[in-house]
Chain A
Amino acid sequence: MARHYIGTTDQFPVGEATLVQVGGRKLGIYRFDDDQFHALLNYCPHQGAELCRGPVTSWLRSPKPGEFQYEKEGEIVRCPWHGWEFDIRSGCMVVDHKVRTLTYDVTVERFDVSVDEGKVYVKI
């Protein structure tokens, strides 16, 4: 596992992925409100869309029909194609963490990101 420098903190806006290429892999780097960073492989395990081009959103729930509650604000990425929702922290598909039908497994590969004096590194 190597540490790759990918930029300074101010290059990563909150609320959208910043796409980077590291060691031959395309990643989306997410910066949360609390300045935590997360990195996901930019590849949806369903049918291969560039997952990190999907909107960053929240986990919408409901106690009963017609009522809406928002959780995990800014922590969910919704695939730009079929809309499967992934938890950016864990890389897991929210409704179904486990291996699903046929050939795919619905976890997106995620990588560690660290920040050192305003410099952001990804470990791959």
Chain B
Amino acid sequence: MTNLGVIDCDIHHNIPDIKAIFPYLPRRYKEQIETWGPLHGGFGHNGGRHGRRFDAFPDGEQAGSNLDFMIKQHFEEYNVKYGILTGEFSSAAMVGDPYYAAALCSAYNDYTIEHWLEKDQRLRGSIVIPYHDIAASVKEIERVGSHPQMVQAYVLGGAAHPYGQRNYHPIYEACLKHGLHFAIHVGAEGASRNATTTGAGYPSYYIEGRAARPQVFMAHMASFVFEGVFELYPELKVIFIEAGVFWIAPYFWRLDQDWKALRPQTPWVEKKPSEYLQTNMYYGSQPLEEVPNKALFDQMLEASFAKDRMLFCSDYPHWDFDSPKLTFPKMEKSLLDNVLYNNAAKLYGLPLQNGTEE
């Protein structure tokens, strides 16, 4: 394995129990939770044990909820130098009551700051926002966005409208004001008030919805490009996490081809769609597709601009965890170093290691 170590861009830290966020919640919602439970959802069947690795539950505690255990099982085992925390709480945005949704997100962000970021300088945080409510999302970014370890605003793929659309733009303005990126992680497709899991409707089984995640990310990606988000906000960086990788190349081939013919409909899009992919978008490596042979793997990697755009994500402690040691077939060292470390270091402003080109 590379000697640079790893920057893991998708680590799901958790709260040990819903009561852990009570110190940050208004009385109204504490009482509501005590009577009814948290009542936020957005997820159905999953894999592993409650969606987690069987070996990731520290002594009966919630997986991902114990920092020391995580450091030992994950950071030390895989030489993880920095970790971007993505958490387990963005389903709070699926709650119908907008005041409660916003309160849950705020409480979780406060918990993350106090119990994770401020306990370990290797960690960076994602601001969970109640994204069905744009004004409340902006307010939350304003509230915690200047924390030095917060690096991005964070939403799930499941949405009511594609993320390029105008109503979301105040969120991007708030991100840029605080030097934050915008990260989209799969999840909650078809849940609550979100659009259906697939374009053909709601499937019955997890494997179907899971495999259809690229459909949802495709819609968001094209929306960013064709609504002109990157023309309006050229500095904005958008990160796509956990829908896999190798569908991205042929999808952008299609967009590039059709842009030539349909360009006059959205003339503000001045460059080929794939050029925005190379300047404004990043994607997580996980779950990496098992490509039938090495030659195809190399080609797909190149076609999807992995050298500069792919960020290593383990998804720890979820069951579909990808090991930084064994997920990738053999890769050229400079390429592997970029994927495991340098791309994320540059994106998140983390220390570059000796010998890395700026």
Contacts and interface: CB of A to CB of B under 8 A. Distances in A.
Interface of A: 46-50, 53-55, 80-83, 101-103
A102 B47 contact: no
A83 B319 contact: yes
B63 to A, nearest CB: 11
B54 A48 contact: no
B189 interface: no
A81 B292 contact: no
A103 B325 contact: no
B81 interface: no
A46 B326 CA distance: 8
B329 A81 contact: no
Contact of B321 (A54, A81, A102, A103): A81
A80 B54 contact: yes
Nearest to B322: A47
Contacts of B320: 81-82
B329 A49 contact: no
A83 B322 CA distance: 13
Interface of B: 47-49, 53-55, 290-294, 297, 319-323, 325-327, 329-330
A81 B319 contact: yes
Chain B at the A interface: mostly helix, strand, loop or mixed? Answer: loop
Contact of B293 (A50, A53, A102): A102
A48 B293 contact: no
B79 to A, nearest CB: 14
Given A80-B55, A81-B53, A83-B48, A102 B327 contact: no
A46 B325 CA distance: 11
Contacts of A53: 54-55
A53 B54 CA distance: 7
Contact of B54 (A46, A47, A54, A103): A54
Contacts of B49: 55
A53 B55 CA distance: 7
| Across the A-B interface, the 8 shortest Cβ-Cβ residue pairs | A80-B54, A47-B326, A47-B323, A80-B55, A53-B55, A102-B329, A48-B326, A101-B290
Contact of A83 (B47, B290, B291, B323): B47
Contacts of A54: 54
A49 B292 contact: no
A101 B291 contact: yes
Contact of A103 (B48, B319, B322, B329): B329
Contacts of B329: 102-103
Nearest to B204: A65
B291 A102 contact: yes
B47 A82 contact: yes
Contacts of B48: 80-81, 83
A101 B289 CA distance: 11
A50 B55 contact: yes
25 contacts: A47-B322, A47-B323, A47-B326, A48-B325, A49-B53, A49-B55, A50-B55, A53-B55, A55-B49, A80-B48, A80-B53, A80-B54, A81-B48, A81-B54, A81-B55, A81-B319, A81-B321, A82-B320, A101-B290, A101-B291, A101-B293, A102-B290, A102-B294, A102-B297, A102-B329
